Amino acid sequence: MARKKQTKVVKHKTLAQRADKYALYQQAVQEPGHEVEFLGRLYRRLRRRPARVLREDFCGTFAVCCEWVKANKVRGCRAIGVDLDPEPLAWGRRHNLAKLPKSVQKRVQLVQGDVRDRAESTLSGAGADILVAQNFSFWIFRNRKELREYFEAARSHLAPKGLFVLDMLGGHEVLVEDHQDEHRMRGKLGATYVWDQARFDPITHHARFHIHFRFRDGSELRRAFTYDWRLWSLPEVRELLSEAGFARSTVYWEGTSKKTGQGNGVYSPRHKAASDPAWIAYVVAEG
Ligand SMILES: C[S@@+](CC[C@H](N)C(=O)[O-])C[C@H]1O[C@@H](n2cnc3c(N)ncnc32)[C@H](O)[C@@H]1O
């Protein structure tokens, strides 16, 4: 009996199947070099001395912690990263921390825990000069009680004269449901980063966002990250900071480029601003 010839089917994985979502996230969303420069400059301007201890809440792959210890070689400069999820922490150990020299690695401490846990001391009891919570991560807290508790815990982790730095996003474009923003990323994957505003409820201000990545072979890493957040406003956040005991909070608003009419990446203290369809700002709380 003649044997049927077997043809071997070689299945190639798509770019999406081969993609590393944390590497893509860092490339698309984060600029640790800029953040560390901004934070260091901010502290020096306000305190007339360099900051040493940085704490990064909701640190994920703790790219900012790694950049902090790399950029600040002065004795006593350290970073602590706190996140609930062991997965991004493990990724960060393999890909971010491992790239630093051993002596520098020692200056990063990681805590897998809740940012609201007051018992988490910042590196041998010394408070943080700067505590930073980035990429709107504190929006995970969806009512005033939860957010105030987080702000109280954050305050307890600061050194005397420490700064608590939060970023915020707003403008009417952020409230548009079922809206996607696409950004081409550099690199050989030819990936596109997609910020998907899936849902917004005007009664509760609860919103759902996704991050997808699309590739040049037509494949897609859908919902690489999903966020269920409350969209807080600047005045609400500042009132809660005050209720949590901070003496002052200042909004750092982005300047406008004369050439393009777009944001110029330079943030300075402001009391008032003109309406803006989509803005990112920092809030700096102290005292
Ligand atoms: C949007 S990611 C932020 C990652 C990174 N810090 C950045 O700026 O891009 C939010 C992170 O917050 C963490 N997270 C959420 N709730 C938390 C909590 N209560 N305590 C600590 N980490 C939390 C998640 O595990 C996730 O890694």
On whether residue 195 sits in a domain, the answer given is yes
Query: At residue 266, does pLDDT exceed 70?
Result: yes
Q: Is 7 inside a domain boundary?
A: no
In terms of domains, do 187 and 64 share one? no
Identify the pLDDT of residue 120. 62
Look at the chain and report how many structural domains it folds into.
2
pLDDT at 103 over 90: yes
Atom number in ligand 1 closest to CA 30? 9
Ligand 1, atom 19, residue with closest C-alpha: 114
What percent of the chain is predicted at pLDDT more than 90? 87
Q: How confident is the model at residue 172, as a pLDDT?
A: 95
Residue-level pLDDT at 73: 86
pLDDT for the residue numbered 77: 95
CATH number of the domain that 57 lies in?
3.40.50.150
pLDDT at 11: 76
Q: What is the pLDDT of residue 206?
A: 97
Residue 122 pLDDT:
52
Query: Tens digit of pLDDT for each residue in 141-150?
Result: 999 999 999 9
Does the pLDDT of residue 255 top 70, yes or no? yes
- The residue segments making up the domain with residue 109 are 21-170+232-286
Do 253 and 224 fall into the same domain? no
What pLDDT digit, counting tens, does each position of 218-231 carry?
A: 999 999 999 999 99
pLDDT band at 125 (very low <50, low <70, confident <90, very high): low
Judgement on whether residues 256 and 223 belong to the same structural domain of the protein:
no
Tell me, in angstroms, the distance from the centre of ligand 1 to residue 261's CA: 32
Compute, in degrees rounded to 10, the torsion defined by CA atoms 163, 228, 20, 184.
-90
Position 1 pLDDT exceeds 90: no
In a shared domain, residues 83 and 207: no
From 58, 68, 208, 211, give the residue whose CB has the most ligand 1 atoms within 8 Å, as the site to mutate.
58
Among 83, 95, 91, CA closest to 59: 83
User: Ligand 1 centroid to 131 CA: how many Å?
Assistant: 14
Enumerate residues 6+ apart whose C-beta is below 8 A from 22: 60, 61, 88, 91, 92, 95
Same domain, 110 and 146: yes
Q: How confident is the model at residue 2 (pLDDT cuts 50, 70, 90)?
A: low
Q: Ligand 1 pocket by C-beta < 6 Å: which residues?
A: 29-30, 58-60, 82-85, 88, 114-115, 134-135, 137, 140
The answer as to whether 12 is a domain residue is no
Choosing from 199, 229, 259, the residue where a domain stops is: 229
Q: Determine, yes or no, domain membership for 14.
A: no
**Same domain, residue pair 89 and 221:** no
What is the spatial distance between Cα 20 and Cα 241, in angstroms, rounded to a whole number? 37
CA–centroid distance for 54 within its chain: 14
End-to-end CA distance of the chain: 88
212 or 188, higher pLDDT = 212
Q: With a cut of 80, say whether residue 52 has pLDDT above it.
A: yes
Is residue 3 scored above 70 in pLDDT?
A: no
Taking phi over 0 as left and psi of -120 to 50 as alpha, with beta for the rest, 60 belongs to left
pLDDT band at 76 (very low <50, low <70, confident <90, very high): confident
211 is a domain residue: yes
Task: Please provide the average confidence, as pLDDT, over all residues in the chain.
Answer: 94
